[in-house]
Structure 1
Amino acid sequence: MQADTTFWDSLVFDGIDDVDVDEVTAAFGTVDIAARSRATGAMCPDCGGWSNRVHGSYQRRFKDLPLAGQSVVIRLTVRRFICDAADCPRRTFAEPFARLTTPYARLTSRLGHALEHVGLALAGRAGARRTPRS
C-alpha cells in the first residue's frame, strides 16, 4: 500500500530539513520509508572544503521509533562526494546526516535515545519486556 509522502516527511523527519521522502510502503506491520538528501553537496570532514561532485551512492537501512504498533524502517540513499582539495588526505567522503543518525548506526538517534531512557529507568529484564525486539 502506497502512502502520502508529504505526511510521512512531516511525521518522521520533523525538524530535519535536508531529507526528502521518495516512497513510503506500509505492509505486514512494517512501514518502509525510502528517503534521500535534499542538499546539493557536502563539506569534507577533513579539510572543510565544499564539494558537489558525486562519486557514487549507497543505501543505509535503519530502524526508527514504532508508529501505531508498526515498526518503521528507513532506507536512506547516501551519496559519496569527491574532495577536490589537493592537500586533503581524503579523496571521497559520505554526506553526513547528523540530525538523523550517527555513522555506522543501525537505528535513528531518537530511537537510540528512547531505548537509552528505558534502559536507565527500568534496567535489565523489565526494560527488555517493555521494548520487544522486532
Structure 2
Amino acid sequence: MAGSDCPGCGSWSRRIHSSYLRFPADVPSGGRRVVLCLRGRRFLCPVNSCGRRTFAERMSGLTRRYGRRTERLRSTLAAVGLALAGRAGGPVGKSLRLVRQPQHGAAARRSLARPGSSRPARRRCR
C-alpha cells in the first residue's frame, strides 16, 4: 500500500483521509488540447503532536504546489517567451495552442527563477 511523508514532522503515513481531482493543462499533442485527470490523496498524520492533521501527497516532477499547469507546459511556455523576447511569445504561444490568452507567455517568463537564486523573478515597476 502506498503512502506519503508528512511535510510537518516527516513521519510516514498510509492512512488516507480523502482524495480530490486536479486537471492541470499540458502541452498539446497533434494540435489538440490534452486534458490530464490526476487523483490526489490527502493523508492523516500519525503523530498527534504534529501541527498538521492532514496533508496532500506531492506530485513532484509533474506539477507544482497549487499549479494549474504541468512542468512540461511551464518550461515550454518559458522557452517560447525567452526565445521571442517576451511580449511576442504570447501570440505565438496562443497560435501553437499552448495558452488561451497571450499574456500567459509573459507570465511564464516572469515565473522563471533568476540564475543562482531559488526565488522566482519579480516583476519590476517602471
Question: What's the TM-score once normalised by structure 2's chain length?
Answer: 0.72
What is the CA distance between 1:86 and its match in structure 2? 1.9
1:115 pairs with 2:80: no
Residue 66 of structure 1 and its aligned partner are, at CA, apart by 0.8
Aligned pairs for 1:1-134 within 5 A? 40-132=2-94, 133-134=99-100
CA distance in 1, matches of 2:37, 2:87: 31
Match of 1:4 in 2: none
CA positional deviation for 1:117: 1.1
> Which structure has the bigger radius of gyration?
2
1:127 Cα deviation from its structure 2 partner? 0.8
Aligned-partner Cα distance in 2 for 1:56–1:124:
41
State the superposition RMSD in angstroms.
1.3
The share of aligned pairs that are identical, in percent, is 49
Aligned length: 96
Determine the C-alpha separation between the residues in 2 that align with 1:45 and 1:73. Answer: 29
1:48-73 deviation per Cα after TM superposition (whole angstroms, max 9, x unaligned): 10001000011111111111111111
Which structure: greater strand fraction? 1
Letter of the 1:70 partner, please give it.
R
Shift in Å, 1:130: 1.4
* C-alpha displacement of 1:125: 3.8
One-letter amino acid matched to 2:4: A
Q: Read off the aligned partner of 2:80 and give its amino acid letter.
A: V
If the length of structure 1 is used for normalisation, what is the TM-score? 0.67
Structure 2: tracts of 5 or more residues without a match: 101-126
Aligned to 1:29: none
Contact 2:81 2:87 in 1 (8 A): no
> SS in structure 1 opposite 2:35?
strand
